[in-house]
Amino acid sequence: MSERKYFGTDGIRGRVGEYPITPEFMLKLGWAAGQAFKRDGHRNSVLIGKDTRLSGYMFESALEAGLAAAGVDVKLLGPMPTPAIAYLTRTFRASAGIVISASHNPHHDNGIKFFSAEGTKLDDALEAEIERWLDMPIQVCEPAELGKASRVDDAPGRYVEFCKSTVPNEFTLDGMKIVLDCAHGATYHVAPKVFRELGARVSVIGADPDGLNINLNVGSTHLEALKAAVVEKRADLGIAFDGDGDRVLMVDRDGSEVDGDELLYVIASQRFAEGRLKGGVVGTLMTNLGVELALTEIGIEFERAKVGDRYVMERLVANNWVLGGEGSGHMVIRDCTSTGDGIVSALQALLAIRRSGKTLSEIRQGMSKLPQKMINVRVSQRFDPFSREDIVAAVQKAESDLGSSGRILLRASGTEPLIRVMAEGQDAEDILRVVEELAKVVENSTA
């Protein structure tokens, strides 16, 4: 990935109006992607979906023009969750899918994600091919070969039915009271339908997008509003999605947060108890050590991948396993769908809860999270923290202080100019002290 000029760990992302998140670049990107996705002997088509950001209209038009210039037909889905584009790309037998979204970022950011014809993230070779075409001048195809654009009016209904199909026909949420937080994002018009049609009594917050309020004090990165709503309405639990709907977190009936690590344990442990877990579980370098210990104790193999759902997927495919995820709530459940899907992951967690006969509060007690603290240090430009001698020395000292009962992790964010500094161990006070000291060293090193 370090050789990529534009692609990060999750597509291309940045602030709207700042290169490359500009209309001019998106026009060129559409053309380049069209060239890379063309398959000989086919009338090629590409799906475009987006979240609820105001800038999505501008970039949708630019990508559409670029793809048409390359001779590729375009199907416009409108505001739809990222995993819905992955699913619909497969069902329409399209050459690829494009998502216009910056996920959990604020409205002034935007980005582009691609899905292959199989509904999976692009491999490195195809991203490199797109970048190769980006370095070439646009050549418009013959007028008779230009691509056409059309809208898919029934996209939301198709996706709602798909989500419901990932749980057994007899599964019902009758009697369950749920609060949904849609982050004023792409799930606002589909998630409530899914859970209501499965029988739940649903209250909804964060479902009034205006183009500027996506992720604003709501959603999986801001759980305060959902916690308050769950307690106020005496709901059984709350479910929070991020802006593009590929992540999910939950809130227990008492207002306590249930993160992706705990949801991963809930799903894995119940599947294992029923004999439905194929293989082991993949987490990441950031996954709380408590997950690994709890899963290992009941006999489930656990493996860590690099941070990012693409790397979780790589290890799952290599091992022929089906379940993996991150603490952020980005989970991959390969026997249900081809990519991270917040709604599908929430349904799998609810299925585990129902089949266990326990409440969310009870089933999550099977694991205990170790104290973990992370500080995001903003930097002027991304860099490898282990390229700085002062940072390396500070990490070595911190590891010595924690000994075998803890661990340190420093990594550069793949989507933002941040260095993530994390420490984990047995004693919360020691962890806080260590991570603050390390963060200060990183700040001073970048000043």
> What residues act catalytically?
103
**Residue 416 to residues 15, 86, 304, 340, 378, Cα–Cα distance (Å):** 10, 24, 22, 20, 9
Q: Are 114 and 100 in contact (CB under 8 A)?
A: no
- Using DSSP bridges, classify how beta strands 248-252 and 237-241 pair: parallel, antiparallel or unpaired: antiparallel
SS in 3 state form for the chain? CCCCCCCECCEEEEECCCCCCCHHHHHHHHHHHHHHHCCCCCCCEEEEEECCCCHHHHHHHHHHHHHHHCCCEEEEEEECCHHHHHHHHHHCCCCEEEEECCCCCCCCEEEEEEECCCCCECCHHHHHHHHHHHCCCCCCCCHHHCCCEEECCCHHHHHHHHHHHCCCCCCCCCCCEEEEECCCCCCCCCHHHHHHHCCCEEEEECCCCCCCCCCCCCCCCCCHHHHHHHHHHCCCEEEEECCCCCCEEEEECCCCEECHHHHHHHHHHHHHHHCCCCCCEEEECCCCHHHHHHHHHCCCCEEEECCCHHHHHHHHHHHCCCEEECCCCCEEECCCCCCCCHHHHHHHHHHHHHHHCCCHHHHHHHCCCCCEEEEEEECCCCCCHHHCHHHHHHHHHHHHHHHHHCEEEEEECCCCCEEEEEEECCCHHHHHHHHHHHHHHHHHHHC
Instruction: Using the structure block, give the residue that is written with the tokens 């941070």.
Output: 307
Specify burial of residue 138 (Cβ count, 10 A radius: 0-12, 13-18, 19+): middle
